[in-house]
Amino acid sequence: MSNLSETTHLLRSHVLHRAFYFAVSKARWELFQKRVLQFWQNEQALSERTSVAQEHYVPLMEKHLDGRSADITLLEIGCGPVCAIQYLEMGEKTYVDPLIVDYRRLFPGLMPESGTYITMMAERLEMPSASFDAVVCLNTLSDVLNPELVLNKMSKLLKDDGLLFVSIDVWPHWLARAHLLLAKFAPTLPRFNRLYTYTARGFRNSLSRHVQIISEEKVMAKRSWFSLSKEIIFICKPHDSSAL
């Protein structure tokens, strides 16, 4: 099958599911990690993303975790240098990111001193099932090597009454197609595409295979004129759980 025929076939297939991506190679994922580190070289990046965490993510998590024990267990996948759950005044915190060592070198003394750090791809994380009261993954799944595997792992790590907070950038249907083609034929473009691109419907479909969606909220609209994406945060619980 020619490259064009293969692309057409995959486009038609992904239109049905509203999720637009090719499985990425480990080499391309590693290239993307270098791009992520370049992003954090910007002096304002940490300040801006910390503001988003404090103004949007944290109040929402506090609302849904209100009434929980002060010693709950919290896990953040793809914490970056922001480590959003550090701003929750409760819980035993664990941070997972493959670039933690690099972030601590970039921002000495600025990342939280308390908590457990695990420098690892989320796909390789091995922990006992039902270990956490809340799992948090903020704007990360479009950058991992295998989003479905990460979703599966996060769902298994939740306690029966646990909550999953996961946010992602979603795109209009036509723009998701454009990103698919760019990812295939121009993967080295510096800032335009992510490893994986979802529409809102496509991500809901993917997420619902692993957990039950309780609610969703728009975090913030992108301000760049050329970007029509928006970030949505989903609050979820394990399937067959009665805990809200």
Domain assignments of the chain as residue spans, ordered by start: 3-237
Q: Please give the Cα distance from 64 to 57 (Å, whole number).
A: 11
Question: Is the pLDDT reported for residue 151 higher than 80?
Answer: yes
Give residue-wise pLDDT tens across range 66-99: 999 999 999 999 999 999 999 999 999 999 999 9
For residue 119, which of 135, 102, 131 has the smallest C-alpha distance?
A: 102
The whole-model pTM stands at 0.85
pLDDT of residue 77: 99
Contact by Cβ (8 Å): 90, 65 = yes
pLDDT of residue 20: 52
Q: Which two tokens stand for residue 105?
A: 């070198």
Question: Is the pLDDT reported for residue 2 higher than 80?
Answer: no
Choose the weakest-confidence range: 19-28, 117-126, 144-153, 187-196. Answer: 187-196
Q: Which two tokens stand for residue 48?
A: 């801006």
pLDDT of residue 1: 44
Which residue, chain included where needed, has tokens 């979820």? 236
SS3 84: helix
As beta bridge partners, residue 73 has 92
Highest mean pLDDT among 40-49, 171-180, 193-202: 40-49
Distance of CA 171 to the CA centre of its chain: 15
For residue 115, which of 96, 102, 133 has the smallest C-alpha distance?
A: 96
pLDDT of residue 176: 73
- How far lies 178's CA from each of 134, 170, 171, 183, 221, in Å? 35, 13, 10, 9, 20
- Is 3-237 a CATH 2.40.10.480 domain? no
Interior angle at CA 234, CA 231 and CA 238, nearest 5: 155
Question: Is the pLDDT reported for residue 112 higher than 80?
Answer: yes
